Amino acid sequence: MTKKTTTAKKALKSVEFSCVAPKAQSVFVAGTFNDWNPEATPLSFSTNGKWSTKLKLAPGRYEFKFIVDGEWCCEPGCEGEYHGCKKCCPNEMGTMNRVLEVA
């Protein structure tokens, strides 16, 4: 393994994506980290209606949305107008994206 490869691997950070959707049959996350592919990153159901997954991401700014039973949303039950969420930003579709900063 080269030094460059080792350095690149160390730069990746483990990041958890999670949302609460107790009645959902499936939940995915799509964003700038997976080319907005709605089927690339499934979340697993755990307890209390929580769905989650962990990804390794390089430092930077990412935008994403959850796909809950085929419906795109920032967070289940929180789509539409900007509600003052500091973790969201408007997108060119007229809806909101979640924002993640990886240090």
pLDDT higher for 34 or 48?
34
CATH number at residue 59: 2.60.40.10
43 inside domain: yes
Q: Which helix (H) or strand (E) holds 67?
A: strand 60-68
* Tally of domains in the chain: 1
Q: What is the tens place of the pLDDT at every residue in 26-43?
A: 999 999 999 999 999 999
What average pLDDT does the structure give for the chain? Answer: 86
Token representation of residue 78: 């929180």
Look at strands 96-102 and 88-90 and give their pairing: antiparallel
49 inside domain: yes
72 inside domain: yes
Q: What is the tens place of the pLDDT at every residue in 53-93?
A: 999 999 999 999 999 999 999 877 665 544 556 688 889 98
Give pLDDT, residue 4.
Answer: 54
**Domain limits for position 57:** 13-102
> What's the pTM value of the predicted model, to 2 decimals?
0.82
